[in-house]
Amino acid sequence: MNCAHELANNVVFQDLGLTNYKTAWEYQEAVFKKILNYKTGKSSVAAACHLLFCEHPHVYTLGKSGTKNNLLINEQFLKKINATYYKTNRGGDITYHGPGQIVGYPVIDIEKLKFSLKEYIFRLEEAIISALKEYGIFADRLAGATGVWLDTTEKSKTRKICAIGVRASRYVAMHGFALNVNTDLSYFNYINPCGFTDKGVTSISKELGKQIDLNETKEILKQKIAKTLGIQLMG
Q: What angle do CA 184, 190, 196 make, to 5 degrees?
A: 100
Q: Is 104 exposed, middle or buried (0-12, 13-18, 19+ CB in 10 A)?
A: buried
163 beta partners = 178
Distance of CA 114 to the CA centre of its chain: 21
Contact present, 102 and 218 (Cβ < 8 Å): yes
Distances from the Cα of 127 to the Cα of 66, 168, 178, 195, angstroms? 25, 19, 13, 24
Q: Reply yes or no on whether 3 is catalytic.
A: no
Please choose, from the candidates 22, 27, 2, the residue with its C-alpha nearest in 3D space to the C-alpha of residue 12: 2
Rounded to the nearest 10 degrees, the angle between the axes of helix 214-229 and helix 117-133 is 140
Catalytic residue among 3, 49, 162, 194: 194
CB neighbourhood size of 94 (10 A)? 26
CB neighbourhood size of 49 (10 A)? 27
Q: Is 37 exposed, middle or buried (0-12, 13-18, 19+ CB in 10 A)?
A: middle
Q: What residues are labeled active site?
A: 194
